[in-house]
Structure 1
Amino acid sequence: MRYMHRKVTVLIALLALAACGSAKDANQDNFSQAIQDYLASQTGFCAGIPANHYPFTLATEEVFVESNKRRADAFVSAGLLNSSDIQIKSRFSQAQTPALEYSLSSLGQKHLVKAGAGGLGNHDAFCTGDYIVQDIESFTEPADAMGLKISRVAYTYKLKDAHKWLHNEAVQREFPESVEQIDTLIEGRAVLVLTNKGWVHERLLKP
């Protein structure tokens, strides 16, 4: 009886270890965690601001700043920026020309991410929400590539807890991609790399 009891105890322990698995296993749970770690390092959905200092001014009569002005005005509509009428020196003469001066509101200060827009302009952005993994759609069998073992993963995720300013009609008009991310599944792809501690998104891999 004592031998049988010991055998059962060992079997239960082995089953428990098998259930726990390893962080190095190629499975949905490990891949979901690795991708979530990457998404958690992001700043949610970001809408680029046509500036990187505050306050900033935009001349109302200059055609080439029209798109910037529409975006800035959308942020005013959403309560992220304040605007006031001013006069500035014209780019093309000594005359004064009407302009709008934009400054951060208290709400804008909470959602401002420096250089959050990316791109060549290195502009700031208003960002909101968190990206959360929903499902691992598929993944390739781990294979060697440039001395690393990788797996390519297709997954879906959602934007959660976005502030209500993202629902503002003017913001959605100027940033139509925001509409596609509200309450909808977003498709994503990632390259995961196997390390001594488990799977890591390639963009979080330390040199």
Structure 2
Amino acid sequence: MFMTGCNDSKEASKDNFKAAINQYLGNSCFLVSDNRRGFPTSFAILPKEKTFLSMKDQWKRDAQVRYDALVELGFLKTEINAKKTEKTYYLTEAGQTAYTSEGRNSLSSDRVQAGVCVTRFEVDEVLRFTEPSAKNGYTVSKVSYSVSLAKDEQAKQEKLVETFPELGKVLSSPKGQSAILVLMNDQWVHEKSINQ
């Protein structure tokens, strides 16, 4: 089966770059941050007719819209108190599996934060790459690529894009993704994977 030789994984090719980026994307996700509130978390129920909101109340309303979407997707469940003044969000079993306190958004900020990993990405196509060159003692190449939701996640796409417009922008902008890949002794890796 392995007739192509031992050094193929070190070649600068679209297939090798696709594998390297997918390996990186597999360790991260589209993260809905909880701003380190944790779960369960509660919000005062704001009257629907209240149109003028303070910045704090607007943040709360926006957060609840996102959390309500996570309820529909099966990650959270809710409970309303007897006076109907407060709504509390709890992680479901699926939510407990998807929740992380050290999440990394694969297509935006790589900052570690807490939240629910609602979906994952994979590379559709490597569009182009630079000729490998030396930089800071490494051989590197800049790669442009398009992404889609991972195949087992695609059933959620319509609801996810409706709720999280930033995700829709990512999926409809194939030329917007790029990465620096670094040649190691045995294969190419995403630059952000080197020290992980």
Report the TM-score when normalising by structure 1: 0.69
Matches within 5 A, 1:1-207: 19-20=4-5, 22=7, 23-43=9-29, 45-49=30-34, 52-61=37-46, 63-64=57-58, 65-86=60-81, 98-116=85-103, 122-129=113-120, 131-160=121-150, 161-162=152-153, 164-168=155-159, 172-180=161-169, 186-187=174-175, 188-206=177-195
SS in 2 for 1:79: coil
Taking the aligned partners of 1:144 and 1:41, their CA distance within structure 2 comes to 27
Taking the aligned partners of 2:169 and 2:75, their CA distance within structure 1 comes to 21
* Deviation at residue 135 of structure 1 after TM alignment: 2.1
Stretches of structure 1 that go unaligned for 5 or more consecutive residues are 1-15, 88-95
SS in 2 for 1:141: coil
Which is richer in strand?
1
Taking the aligned partners of 2:68 and 2:37, their CA distance within structure 1 comes to 16
Alpha carbons 1:39, 1:132 under 8 Å: kept: yes
* Deviation at residue 117 of structure 1 after TM alignment: 6.7
Alpha carbons 1:80, 1:104 under 8 Å: kept: yes
What percent identity do the matched residue pairs reach?
26
Following TM superposition, the consecutive aligned residue runs of length 4 or more in structure 1 with deviations greater than 4 angstroms are 117-121, 163-166
SS in 1 for 2:81: strand
Alpha carbons 2:133, 2:139 under 8 Å: kept: yes
Taking the aligned partners of 2:10 and 2:72, their CA distance within structure 1 comes to 49
From the superposition, tell whether residues 51 and 164 of structure 1 become closer, same or farther in structure 2 (CA, over 3 Å). Answer: farther
* Deviation at residue 57 of structure 1 after TM alignment: 0.7
> Counterpart of 2:85 in structure 1: which amino acid?
P
Computed over aligned residues only, the root mean square deviation of the Cα atoms, in angstroms, reads: 3.3
* Deviation at residue 201 of structure 1 after TM alignment: 1.3
Aligned equivalent of 1:4: none
From the superposition, tell whether residues 38 and 123 of structure 1 become closer, same or farther in structure 2 (CA, over 3 Å). Answer: closer
Taking the aligned partners of 1:21 and 1:111, their CA distance within structure 2 comes to 37
Alpha carbons 1:48, 1:117 under 8 Å: kept: no
Stretches of structure 2 that go unaligned for 5 or more consecutive residues are 47-55
Taking the aligned partners of 1:28 and 1:125, their CA distance within structure 2 comes to 31
Taking the aligned partners of 2:154 and 2:114, their CA distance within structure 1 comes to 21
Taking the aligned partners of 1:164 and 1:30, their CA distance within structure 2 comes to 28
Report the TM-score when normalising by structure 2: 0.72
SS in 2 for 1:20: coil
Taking the aligned partners of 2:98 and 2:104, their CA distance within structure 1 comes to 13
SS in 2 for 1:196: coil
